[in-house]
Chains A and B, each alone.
Chain A
Amino acid sequence: MPTERIVVWIAAFCTLGLYSILYRENKVFRFFEHLYIGLGTGYLLYLTWNDTLKPRWWEPMVQEGRWWWACAVPVGLMFYTVYSRKHAWMSRLIFGLFFGLTAGQAFQRYAAVQFPLIRSVVSVPLVNPPEATAPGAYALSPYSAVFNNVLFLAIVVAVMSYFFFSFEQKNKAVASVSKFGRYVLMFAFGAIFGSTIMARLSLLIGRIHFLLHDWLNIAP
């Protein structure tokens, strides 16, 4: 049997083994689950060394005489002092450094990503129709685009009013707007759920196509 066919047979058994969970919990599924996690972790370790650590750290340090890269080792080991009660203070230093770095980046990222979004919300044309090629026009007819924008803004206000908890919403108008906000939120969650279904079905389709086409050769 050629090597390619052997690989296909192994992949088919892996697929069937993993899908056996749909019938009921069993040892075959557990075996393939652990096999898959082990393979994935091993592959990640290999590539971390091969694509990053070896060319960016080991070779410059050993072959190009950049000995100061050796300082990265004790710094990296500081993470593992978390397991020692006596030396755990060292892990706090390095964790604190990374927390700070990540928090700073998160602030920067939030501003860079969200502010243009907010600007696009408050600058939608509500009277003059945008060109069909403009961002957000969705190639709609000019007046459909204006209607779309008005609806969009109304939904933004309604959803924001739903999340306004500073005072009780006794006013009938405010309560109605808030209720409308809750309904459109449900529409959005429905869309996310629908998309999730589509994504999961796509994965199933890929596997079934593999079984019928590549393994059994009964589908074109």
Chain B
Amino acid sequence: MGKWMHDIDRRWLYLLLFLAVALPMLFPSKGGSAVILPETQSFYDTVERVAADPKRRDKLVLLVANFSASTATENLNQYESAMRHVMRHRLKFAIVSFADPQGRELGQQTADKLASQFGYQYGRDYVNWGFKTGDIALNVKALARDIPGTIGKDIKGTPLGQIPVMQGVRGVDDIGLVVETASADTLEYWLAYFRAAGDEPVPLLFSCTAVMAVEAYPFLRSGQIQGMLNGLKGAGEYETLLQSPGFATQVSPSLSWAHFVILFLIALGNLSLFLSRRRAGSRGGA
């Protein structure tokens, strides 16, 4: 039996995984309610706190889109929910990308999708600073001191000083909240050069791919970040908190079933190894 399990063609496993993902999509069930993890709850609460704080709510929110289409399933859904939350409270915001050129476009597509729903207008309520190439550390450090000087012009080629939403925005003290959505290791730049560069620490939220989440948990514990969305699961929890179920909620059963299949395969692999070792041991004994 152990040998048979050992020799399974990997393509059967791919097919099994495909079915585990596809069947819950084809035959959706109601499913249970999502368990909200504390980091997702504090992510949500921080946006609420900023919106309720008279000192912060008139400042600009930075929605940093450091991701590309390859991780859109995780990051784009997180980003869309964060933007929806910000728009719900009518906070002004800026889209910017430092790590990936596609971020500026994905951020703009998200804004285009939601703007009409919330009555947002480009230039008056939000702005897209575009993709800034070069050393991220230098960019973020310069941003804390001089935003118009670092960014220069928005994606339409308009100098920042001529854009209504940018009036009075000079540096880190004019930023009310930073939400970084990332598939790259860029959190440390915001922690080191931006968050504590002003008169008061700027609240920093982090939504990342699940691969990166484990390494970001210590920053949550130390209070350096105020909340975190962990991959697609975090996006689903956030949608639940916003009472706005979307893609992440819809595909949650697929994620659960795929995890179940992986666990089953790990157990099968270990059983196969155990049986083959026992067989080898009994042969050796004979």
Contacts and interface: CB of A to CB of B under 8 A. Distances in A.
Nearest to A108: B192
B134 interface: yes
Contacts of A195: 210-211, 213-214, 230-231
A209 B25 contact: yes
A191 B28 CA distance: 29
Interface residues of A, number: 47
B189 A206 contact: no
B259 A198 contact: yes
Interface in A110-133: 112-113, 116-117, 119-120
Contact of A55 (B22, B74, B152, B196): B152
A188 interface: yes
A108 B138 CA distance: 12
B211 A116 contact: no
Given A47-B133, A112-B192, A117-B218, A201 B259 contact: yes
A202 B232 contact: yes
A176 interface: no
A148 to B, nearest CB: 10
B133 A43 contact: no
Contacts of A209: 25, 73, 247, 251, 254
A204 B221 contact: no
Given A135-B221, A199-B210, A199-B211, A205 B232 contact: yes
A138 interface: yes
Interface stretch (B11-19, B53-61, B166-174, B278-286): B11-19
A219 B223 CA distance: 42
A206 B79 CA distance: 15
A206 B254 CA distance: 10
A207 B158 CA distance: 36
B255 A212 contact: no
Contact of A203 (B73, B196, B214): B73
Nearest to B254: A205
B117 interface: no
A116 B191 CA distance: 10
B132 interface: yes
A162 B17 CA distance: 38
Interface string B212-235: 011100111111100000111100
Interface in A79-131: 102, 105, 108-109, 112-113, 116-117, 119-120
A168 interface: no
Interface of A: 22-23, 43-44, 47-48, 51-53, 55-56, 102, 105, 108-109, 112-113, 116-117, 119-120, 135-136, 138-139, 188, 191-192, 195-199, 201-209, 212-213, 218-220
Q: Which 3 residue pairs across A and B have the least CB separation, nearest first?
A: A206-B73, A135-B223, A120-B222
